[in-house]
């Protein structure tokens, strides 16, 4: 039986792909790098961030020398821009269903705890989320190991592998799920192309979050 659903935040619960693209292009303009389109971004973006910036023309040395400047520019624009962002389609329906069925929902993110908690409240979703595992400040974002946060939480709370699903819009969540030996649900329409998600072979691929309800029901029916 599924007892814990671990959600990514950016592009998964928060519909922020366009806002992110605009913020990233603000950063690129600082270094006279040509802006990218949303389609290009979904093909190029990567974690850790050094991989993405290398693809668009910034070497690792330059990234680390300018890391504080990059993060402040990005977050300075992004945090204002996402005040206009909504939750992904089907988010509230899924979170309410999980809550009413006694299944815990937590968020695992490279973003900051403060921003996530603020927007959960703005979107009236905070009562459905038991924990936010993320970073304490903007200078840490994009560099930390999400898998370690997840592993620690799972161990401390006594969940078994077969009780857990990870939901995310990136290959990173699929990789983490495989690392931890749990099921993965990839969601299209976030920061990554469907092609890139399919290449990583998630257990399931959906286009809207409430489709996860049927998946969980089927998993539980087989248990």
From 36, 52, 84, the end of a domain falls on 84
pLDDT for residue 167: 98
Give the C-alpha distances (Å, rounded to integers) separating 49 from 58, 63, 98, 136, 197. 11, 9, 32, 18, 18
pLDDT at 154: 96
Same domain, 94 and 203: yes
Are 28 and 125 within one domain? no
Q: What's residue 141's pLDDT?
A: 47
| 141 and 191 part of one domain | yes
3-state secondary structure the chain: CCCEEEECCECCCECCHHHHHHHHHHHHHHCCCCCCCHHHHHHHCCCCHHHHHHHHCCCHHHHHHCHHHHHHHHHHHHHHHHHHCCECCCHHHHHHHHHHCCCEEEEEEEEEHHHHHHHHHHCCCHHHCCEEEEECCHHHCCCCCHHHHHHHHHHHHCCCHHHEEEEECCHHHHHHHHHHCCEEEEECCCCCCHHHHHHCCCCEEECCHHHHHHHHHHHHHHC
11 with 36, same domain: the answer is: no
Domain that holds residue 42: 17-84
Contact criterion met (CB below 8 Å) for 196 and 43: yes
- The domain total for the chain is 2
- Is residue 42 within 8 A of residue 18, CB to CB? The reply is no
Dihedral sign for Cα atoms in the order 102, 153, 164, 20: positive
For the whole model, what pTM was predicted?
Answer: 0.92
Q: Are residues 108 and 168 in the same domain?
A: yes
- CATH number, domain of 159, equals 3.40.50.1000
Note the pLDDT of residue 146: 84
Residue 78 shares a structural domain with residue 124: no
- Taking a C-beta distance cutoff of 8 angstroms, is the pair 98, 90 a contact? no
10 near 20, Cβ under 8 Å?
Answer: yes
Q: Is residue 84 exposed (0-12), middle (13-18) or buried (19+ Cβ within 10 Å)?
A: exposed
Residue 2: the pLDDT is: 98
Domain end, chosen from 84, 100, 121, is at: 84
Look-up of token digits 């029916």: 221
Instruction: Pick out the chain residues at pLDDT < 70.
Output: 137-144
* pLDDT value, residue 218: 96
The pLDDT score that the predictor gives to residue 144 is: 55
């Amino acid at each position: 039986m599924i007892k814990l659903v671990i959600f990514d935040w950016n592009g998964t619960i928060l519909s922020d792909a366009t806002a992110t693209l605009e913020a990233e292009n603000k950063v690129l303009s600082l270094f006279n790098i040509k802006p990218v389109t949303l389609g290009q971004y979904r093909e190029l973006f990567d974690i850790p961030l050094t991989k993405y910036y290398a693809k668009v023309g910034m070497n690792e040395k330059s990234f680390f020398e300018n890391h504080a400047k990059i993060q402040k520019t990005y977050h300075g624009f992004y945090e204002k821009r996402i005040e206009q962002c909504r939750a992904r389609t089907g988010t509230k329906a899924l979170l309410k269903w999980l809550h009413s069925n006694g299944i815990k929902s937590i968020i695992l993110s490279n973003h900051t705890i403060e921003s996530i908690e603020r927007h959960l409240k703005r979107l009236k979703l905070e009562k459905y989320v038991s924990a936010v595992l993320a970073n304490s400040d903007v200078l840490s974002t994009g560099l930390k190991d999400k898998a370690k946060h997840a592993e620690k939480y799972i161990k401390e709370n006594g969940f078994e592998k077969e009780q857990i699903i990870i939901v995310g819009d990136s290959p990173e969540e699929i990789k983490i799920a495989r690392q931890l030996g749990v099921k993965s649900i990839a969601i299209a329409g976030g920061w990554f192309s469907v092609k890139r998600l399919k290449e990583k072979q998630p257990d399931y691929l959906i286009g809207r979050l409430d489709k996860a309800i049927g998946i969980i029901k089927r998993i539980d029916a087989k248990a």
